[in-house]
Every structure is written in C-alpha cells, then in structure tokens.
Structure 1
Amino acid sequence: MKDAPVAAEFSGAPASDDEKVRYALRRERIGQQRFRNQLFDAYTGRCAVSGCNVDEALEAAHIENYSGPKSQAASNGILLRRDLHSLFDAHLISFELVRGDYQLCGSYLLQHTDYATFAGSVLREPDEHRFRPNARFLEAHRAEFDFSESRRHAEAVAPY
C-alpha cells in the first residue's frame, strides 16, 4: 500500500489526495537520514548550542528551508536540541557574528524564560570546514529573525 502513489503515478491511474500527500512527504525526506548522519558526525553527537548528547533529543536543523535534495548539504544544517530547533525554525532564536564567532541571539519574548540563559552562547562549529554552517545562510536566517522580531514588536506581542 505504501507504494500505491508511486504505482498510481506511473500507471496513469489517479491517486487519491491522501496518497498524493503521503508520496509528497516521502519525497521531501529524500536524503534526510544522510543529512542527519552527517550532522551527527560533524557535531560529534552534541547540540551545537547546549552540548546535549542525547541522540533522541537532537535534530538536524536546516538553516535555509528544505527545497529539495540539494538543501540536504551539511553546510545548510546545525545539530540542535529539539526545543532549540523549534525556536530556530520559528525565528525566536538566531545567530549573530560577533568578533569571529556566531553567538545566539534570542527574541525579547524569551528574555524571562529559561532560554534567556542561552543568549550569547557561541555556536559550536564542526572542526571540518566543509561541515560548518554557510555564513550566507546564517545571515539570511538572522535577517528573517530581525524581520520577525520587528513584526512582533509592531504587533505588541507580549512576552511569555
């Protein structure tokens, strides 16, 4: 049954909407396991911010949104603890280049939470240069963070 969308696609028979969604989700994940494995190796199995080394708590975070197999390059990723990955994707945290190091900056929404302790934390980068986060991607993420932060201010979003 799991191959039904593929069979339907090539047989000329129309696939159901559910089959199309399952097929699209499977296609989107092509290369994800390799991407995750590369980041685990590059970051020696530790979160690049917190240092957490619990495999089940770590995720391979894309810096630039997934846009096909080419975005599965290790330089487009950071190994983050699951909660930090969620904040990163929501543009509630990002990284800023300060004196040659990328430091974590957090939204004003997080300043009275446990996450405030991570403010200024240095992003631990892999030793091998080809696995380090792409500076342009980090700068673009930071620009999105700044835009989101200004929008939150304009909308007067209250801190947690």
Structure 2
Amino acid sequence: MLAYVGVTDFAWYELLARRRGLDEVNFWQPGGNRVFGALEPGGLFLFKLHAPHNAIVGGGFFAHATLLPVGLAWDAFREANGVESLAEMRERIGKYRRVEVEDRKNFTIGCILLEQPFFLNQSQWIPAPSDWARNIVQGKRYDLSIGEGALLFERLKFALGLAGGSEGWPDQWRESTAPRYGAPTTVLPRLGQGSFRVLVTDAYGRRCAATGERVLPVLEAAHIRPFSEGGEHRVDNGVLLRSDLHTLFDRGYLTVSDQARIEVSHRIREDFENGRNYYALHGSVLRLPEDPNLHPNDRFLRWHAENVYLG
C-alpha cells in the first residue's frame, strides 16, 4: 500500500483537530496548476506540519483530486476546508501565492478530497521520516511495506493504538495477504456529502445531465435515493442537474427511466398551470458520464420512480 505525506500548516490542522465528527476534509493547494495524482482512491494521505513542527499529525483516505473554483470548494466543504470563512480562505491563498487576492475573483485551487480523517494529539505526533528533505514543498510518497515507509506505518499504528493487529483498523485497511509486510490493502472510502457533490460534478463533465448547462453555481448533485431514505453518497446514486430541475426531481415532478430518459409528471401542469419548458425535456436522454460504472444505478432509479415520482 502506498501513502502520501502532504505538507500543511498548523492553523489548518488545529482548526480541524478541534472539530468532532468530521467525515471528510478538503486538503487544498493554493496554486491550482495541476491535479494531484500520487495516490489511487483509498490510499492513505498523511498530514505533515511545516517547520518548526516537522511532525506527522493525522491523515485521511484519498477519494478524488480535482481543480475547483474557490467558491465551489467553500460551498462544498465549508469549515472542512480548514478555515472558518470564505474570506479567510481567500486570505490564506493570497498569502501562499504572495499576491493580493481580489475579494470577488473565483480563482481556481487544487483540491484533494479525503474521507474519514483522523488527527493525532500532540503527544502522539510522529517525527518526519529520516529521509525527508528540507526542500520538499508539497509532499512525498512512501511504500508502507519497506524502509522508511514501513517504519512510518508502524509508528502510525502505535499512535492510533492499532499495533496489536488489524482489529479496530479503519474500514479502508485490510490485512495484507503477505503477513511479513504487515501493510494493509485498501478499499474505496465512503464519501461525505461534499465529496459526493464534487465527484458527481466531475463525473458529468460539469454539465447539467438534462440541459447541458455549464454555469457551475446553478448545478447541483441530486441524490436519486436520498440519504435520509437509506441512500448513499455514491456517484451512481447521483445525477448533476440544474437547481430548478433538482428541486423538481426531489419533489417527484420528474424522474429518470432505467433507459436514462427523462419523464416529466402531468402534475406540473395540474399544480402550477404551467411547465412548457419542462415538458420539452420529456423523453430526452440524459448526458451520462463517460465511465459506465458511474452511470445512475438502475436499482436507485426504480426506487425513485416507485417512491418519489408523482406520475
């Protein structure tokens, strides 16, 4: 199993470590020039503080990396960005970019979405690996089965109270089939709400699946089966829709057949004596993600048609 040790600042760590019950964080990078690609989904991402601390203080499980407008990153993750406001986030980005940041400019940043984050108390902090060079700015990848990576993994297990074996390990870790290494294999992490929104947005090419609309502020990730009704934050349980279509979908005024065709309820006309623009969508086919594994799940579509759609 590979792990990545990413460099962050104390303020980011301190704010998030105080918050209980976080199921996701956004480890953002101010440059916004390239997409992080050092891990596969489920890989372990560890947080290392800048000097003078030079310690590993927590981590999470990698779900997705992308470039986002700062406004969308804030809307999706709020304080899970490690800041208390959008204004503070802009200020931090300006500090790292060494520029004055315009209050209204929706510039792009790099976003590394991490699930099931954990944070170590100061007494549990782990020293940086001995091969960590001072000139490393962003981070470094380690193989947890050999050398410094294996030592780091043993120290991490001890810090988390997991040194006795795999019992109690996070769901993302499983015992390796090669016991002499002791490093875990990975499974895909469970997504939080913000990560669900971003992954669905990217899966659909940042376009409304029904209309092709590209204006990001009006696009929303709709759950096919709502989380409150036993649905999950999974891309195949989502569809990217313009905000008004999302509302109609949630309230049963439209649905999607298992052939990915839009069906518009007669109730729009009956309830509102209008709806011509929406009826124009009836029978049209959704624009689906390129990856078939991310298409809406037929089981979830049937649930929506049977339990939400007004007919």
Q: Equivalent residue for 2:291?
A: 128
TM-score by length of 2: 0.36
Larger RCO (alpha carbons 8 Å, 6+ apart): 1
Query: Is the CA contact (8 Å cut-off) linking 1:48 and 1:125 kept in structure 2?
Result: yes
Query: Is the CA contact (8 Å cut-off) linking 2:219 and 2:240 kept in structure 1?
Result: yes
SS of structure 2 residue aligned to 1:84 = helix
Q: Equivalent residue for 2:243?
A: 82
Asked if 1:92 corresponds to 2:253, the answer is yes
In proportion to residue count, which structure has more helix?
A: 1
Q: Equivalent residue for 1:37?
A: 198
- Distance in structure 2 (CA, Å) of the matches to 1:122 and 1:48: 9
Aligned alpha-carbon RMSD (Å): 2.7
- Distance in structure 2 (CA, Å) of the matches to 1:109 and 1:68: 23
User: Could you report, residue by residue, the CA deviation over 1:58-98 in whole angstroms, capped at 9, with x for unpaired residues?
Assistant: 0010001114997111111000100000000001100123x
Structure 1 residues 86, 68: CA separation in 2 closer, same or farther (over 3 Å shift)?
Answer: closer
Structure 1 residues 136, 55: CA separation in 2 closer, same or farther (over 3 Å shift)?
Answer: same
Please, which of 264, 268, 280 is the counterpart of residue 110 of structure 1?
268
Shift of 1:110: 2.8
Identity of aligned residues (%): 37
Give the 4+ runs in structure 1 shifted more than 2 A: 67-70, 109-112
- Distance in structure 2 (CA, Å) of the matches to 1:60 and 1:33: 10
Structure 1 residues 68, 92: CA separation in 2 closer, same or farther (over 3 Å shift)?
Answer: closer
Q: Equivalent residue for 2:221?
A: 60
Q: Equivalent residue for 1:15?
A: none
In proportion to residue count, which structure has more strand?
A: 2
Q: Which runs of 5+ in 1 are unaligned?
A: 7-25, 150-160
- Distance in structure 1 (CA, Å) of the matches to 2:296 and 2:260: 10
Query: Is the CA contact (8 Å cut-off) linking 1:31 and 1:69 kept in structure 2?
Result: no
- Distance in structure 2 (CA, Å) of the matches to 1:88 and 1:69: 17
- Distance in structure 1 (CA, Å) of the matches to 2:296 and 2:229: 18
- Distance in structure 2 (CA, Å) of the matches to 1:69 and 1:39: 19
TM-score by length of 1: 0.67
